A = this chain, B = another copy of it.
Amino acid sequence: MTNEMVFSELTPVAFAERAAKVFPDRLAVVDGGLRYSYAELWQRVQALAGVLTEYVRPGDRVAVLAPNTHVLLEAHYGVPLAGAVLVALNTRLSPAETAYILDHSGASVVIVDADCREALTEALKHSTVRPTVIDSGGPRDEYESLVTGATAQATAVTDERSLLSINYTSGTTGRPKGVMYHHRGAYLQALAMAYHAKLDTSSRYLWTLPMFHTNGWCFPWAVTAAGAVHHCLRKVDPAQIWRAIHEDGVSHFCAAPTVLAMLAEDPAAAVPAPRPVQVFVGGAPPSPALLAKTDRLGIHTRHLYGLTETFGPAVVCEWQPEWHALSPQSRAPLVARQGIANIVAEPLRVVDARGADVPADASTLGEILLRGNNLMLGYYRDDEATAAAATADGWFRSGDLGVMHPDGYVELRDRAKDVIVSGGENITSVEVENALAEHPAVLDAAVVAMPHPKWGEVPVAYVTLRTDASIEEAELIAFVRERIARFKAPHRVIFGVLPKTSTGKIQKDLLRGRAVHPPLDRPRRR
């Protein structure tokens, strides 16, 4: 027997080839009025590869600037089939930020959606590279013309540990870093997502999570592996999401808690989902109050946790059958935990400052470390940052703080940098936020540190109120004090809209330093 018979390189691109053969006539993609099958997807992505090989050599980077369209989905197959490396660009960056990424990745080609064309033109004014631009959408759809006329191409993956894509971190602090994905990791992570989400041919996946974020947590490949439907969505709009749930039979999507909060608030929520919807929730822990609300709407959440560096969710809050018997109140804190290593991930560790595993006592705080096939190759063109990301004994440092529960589930307590150190005591912002979220008037809350002349730091809360709701600062502070230790309650509450990244994460860095503490001559009891 030849080695080729026994082993094939692990690559998520293979899922599209398999789907074309085993699900040829199944619906693959819905994008507005466009609908096509898995046989057509495979034909189209090979044609895209044919187009790209005119412009790129093996290993060259191909950037895409587009919302969640069929074009960005196709690029997840067509770019590697051309032997090139995918760089999916965040559509909400400033021109200067986009230019930085184009230059840093050295993109040879940019495929751009008509809605993003102006932003790209602006970005190219700031950039050094001069990529070939392929316009997609709009009246003159260059992408479509090229793909229609192209000769099919399919470059084989000869090393599963080679570079598949570069995902730039959102970069709330400092320059964005280019996280390098390999074929093997994306393949295994896609399998894990298909397994945990129980995707199959009856599933319809709604593209709420941006594909430019962590390659859409590998769902561009997982949904195809399962022969399910990719339901594209240009904009995270609650009314459109509800329409897709009510009318199009959507069964799965991924979202940050803020998206779920918007859904629960939307007038369309008056009619629950006609078929159970499974939502993978990431980006931030959903509050118990939110979980209770979505359950009633037929939207069943599973909490996940991961980083761009771990191909998205390395950790899933796997459901335990015994939880069915619990009251919603007892169950909520269990399902709001981050959970356990996913089925392909190595069990994660929570370690103290000396690198020793903390006890599984649900209270000793430590940093979360990860390792395994679902870890990045490193940061592109940044050996220093790559080296700094690992411990001396070879574990990736997440920078996140958590505790290990006795049942093996990890609970994130905070980003290391989000912990508020007040009078020598650690206050995790999440516990204060959860207490705020229990108030019926509160839609969204973020808690950050504010300098304090006596305590060093104290918590300050930024709060968005529900439509038509109102509450006074003092009343809300009193509400929190009834729920958690007094010294953890915010010293100030500032009402307004919270700044968010494209993926719905609250940008705490923008909030820090906005508030200053009132002078000490207005004493507060702790």
| Residues of A near any B CB (own CB < 8 A) | 1-2, 4-8, 10, 14, 17-18, 21-26, 161, 182, 184-185, 191, 194-195, 198, 200-202, 225-227, 318-321, 340-341, 343-347, 371-373, 375-378, 386-387, 389-390, 394-396, 406-409
A200-B407 contact in complex given A4-B394, A21-B341, C-beta closer than 8 Å? no
CA of A7 to CA of B371 in the docked complex: distance in angstroms?
Answer: 8
Q: Among A182, A185, A319, A371, which residue has the most Cβ atoms of chain B within 10 A?
A: A371
Check B5 against A396 for contact (C-beta < 8 Å): yes
Best-surrounded residue of A22, A344, A386 (most CB of chain B within 10 A) = A22
* Inter-subunit contact B321/A202 (CB<8 Å): yes
Known: A1-B386, A22-B408, A378-B1. A7 touches B161 (CB 8 A): yes
The interface centre, meaning the residue of A1, A200, A373, A375 with most chain B CB atoms within 10 A of its CB, is: A1
Nearest CB to that of A389 among chain B residues? Answer: B1
Note all chain B residues with C-beta closer than 8 A to A25: 406-407
Contact of A371 among B5, B201, B344 (CB under 8 A): B5
Contact, CB under 8 Å: A201 / B1: no
Q: How many Å lie between the Cα of A25 and that of B406 in the bound state?
A: 9
Q: Which residue of B lies closest to A343 (CB)?
A: B225
Chain B min CB distance to A405 (Å): 10
Contacts of A376 in B (CB 8 A): 1, 6
- On whether the beta carbons of A18 and B386 are closer than 8 Å, the reply is no
CA distance A376 to B318 in the complex (A): 33
Q: Which residues of B contact A347 (CB under 8 A)?
A: 17-18, 21-22
Contacts A201-B320, A319-B200 given; indicate if A184 touches B7 (C-beta within 8 A). yes
* With known contacts A2-B394, A343-B194, A21–B408 Cβ distance under 8 A: yes
Per a CB cutoff under 8 Å, which of B5, B200, B202, B345 touches A395? B5
A195 — nearest CB in chain B belongs to which residue? B195
Q: Does the CB pair A341–B22 fall under 8 Å?
A: yes
Report the nearest B residue to A349, measured CB to CB: B21
Task: Flag if B375 contacts A6 (CB, 8 Å).
Answer: yes
CB distance from A464 to the nearest CB of B (A): 36
Compute how far the CA of A409 lies from the CA of B201 in the bound complex, rounded to whole angstroms. Answer: 14
Residues on B with beta carbons closer than 8 Å to the beta carbon of A394: 1-2, 4-5
For residue A200, which residues in chain B have a CB less than 8 angstroms away from its CB?
A: 318-319
Q: Which residues of B contact A2 (CB under 8 A)?
A: 390, 394
Query: In the complex the two chains form, what is the Cα distance from A17 to B408 in whole Å?
Result: 12
Alpha-carbon gap, A5 to B185, bound state (A): 12
Contacts A1-B378, A2-B390, A7-B372 aside, 8 further interface pairs with beta carbons under 8 A come to: A1-B376, A4-B394, A5-B375, A5-B395, A6-B161, A6-B375, A6-B378, A8-B373
Known: A24-B407, A24-B408. A1 touches B318 (CB 8 A): no
Q: Which residues of B contact A395 (CB under 8 A)?
A: 5
Partner of A18, one of B24, B202, B341: B341
Contact B8 A371 (CB under 8 A): yes
The distance in angstroms between the C-alpha atoms of A347 and B346, with both chains bound, is: 29
Ranked nearest first, the 10 interchain pairs of A and B with the lowest CB-CB distance are A22-B340, A21-B347, A202-B321, A5-B394, A22-B408, A2-B394, A195-B195, A6-B375, A8-B372, A1-B390
Do A23 and B408 contact each other (CB < 8 Å), given the known contacts A4-B394, A18-B341, A344-B191? yes
